[in-house]
Amino acid sequence: MVKALVDDLSRRMDSTLESLRKDFAGLRTGRANAAMLDGIMVDVYGSVMPLNQVGTVAVPEPRMISVQVWDKGSVKAVEKAIAEANLGLNPQADGNLVRIPVPPLSEERRNEIAKIAAKYAEQARVAIRNVRRDGMDGLKKAEKDSQITEDEHKSWSDKIQKMTDEHIKKVDELLATKEKDLRQV
């Protein structure tokens, strides 16, 4: 019973880390990254679709993203959606290909993005601590219901704390890596 609880806690902490990785991938560094366009929705065929369902997103150069639009009639809609996504990007259509040059970031913008990254990391830390709290509550309940002994409670709570510390350390490492990427010019 307690083993299943701890496995669930580990899974939830891992999914928090994965979510943080996705959040960081969407943050713009000085280099082009296809994940920058993940949240863009394009109004085509009378409905709103994710950009990756309208064309192929590629990064041919460090400062260039390209979108190979599958339907020539959708090129203008793709161009408009990217321009209106508030990413500071200026798409240029060339036939079925939309080129998006990624301008270098100013020092001020790098600092703003670093603050956003720190906010994401703090949210992940809080989420991991909440998972730990849920686990500790589960252990208290199991001990109160006489499913585990006091010694087992102590042993399991130490394991949960160790797992929490490891995951928070990973959050800090991910943040340090992202900040290093932001500082590269």
Instruction: Report the domain count for the chain.
Output: 2
Q: Does 110 lie in the same domain as 97? A: no
CB atoms within 10 A of CB 94: 9
- Which amino acid appears at position 86 of this protein? N
C-alpha to C-alpha distance for 10 and 7, rounded to whole angstroms: 5
CATH number of domain containing 38: 3.30.1360.40
CB atoms within 10 A of CB 23: 18
Q: Does 154 lie in the same domain as 63? A: no
pLDDT given at position 121: 95
The pairing of beta strand 64-69 with beta strand 97-101:
antiparallel
Q: Of the segments 30-44, 48-62, 82-96, 161-175, which one has the largest average pLDDT value?
A: 161-175
pLDDT in tens, 70-124: 988 888 999 988 888 877 788 888 888 999 988 877 888 888 888 889 999 999 9
pTM value surpassing 0.85: no
Q: Does 177 lie in the same domain as 114? A: yes
At which of 68, 101, 134 does a domain end? 101
pLDDT given at position 185: 59
Q: Does 95 lie in the same domain as 120? A: no
Q: Does 70 lie in the same domain as 41? A: yes
**Average pLDDT of 40-66?**
88
Chain position carrying tokens 């192929």? 56
The pairing of beta strand 47-50 with beta strand 55-61:
unpaired
Chain position carrying tokens 């399991």? 156
pLDDT given at position 172: 95
The pairing of beta strand 41-44 with beta strand 92-94:
unpaired
C-alpha to C-alpha distance for 67 and 25, rounded to whole angstroms: 18
Q: Does 89 lie in the same domain as 156? A: no
CATH number of domain containing 113: 1.10.132.20
Range of the structural domain that residue 111 is part of: 2-26+106-183
Q: Does 176 lie in the same domain as 122? A: yes
CA dist 84 to 18, 28, 113, Å? 28, 16, 19
Q: What is the dihedral of CA 95, 86, 116, 132, to 10 degrees?
A: -80
At which of 101, 127, 143 does a domain end? 101
Contact residues for 13 (Cβ-Cβ < 8 A; gap 6+): 128, 131, 163, 164, 167
- Copy the structure tokens of residue 137: 């509550």
pLDDT in tens, 124-165: 999 999 999 999 999 999 889 988 888 999 999 999 999 999
pLDDT given at position 136: 93
Q: Does 112 lie in the same domain as 22? A: yes
pLDDT over 90 (residue 6)? no
Q: Does 131 lie in the same domain as 64? A: no
Q: Does 161 lie in the same domain as 118? A: yes
At which of 76, 101, 126 does a domain end? 101
Nearest to 55 by CA among 16, 22, 24, 100: 100
pLDDT given at position 46: 85
Q: Does 132 lie in the same domain as 79? A: no
CB atoms within 10 A of CB 98: 24
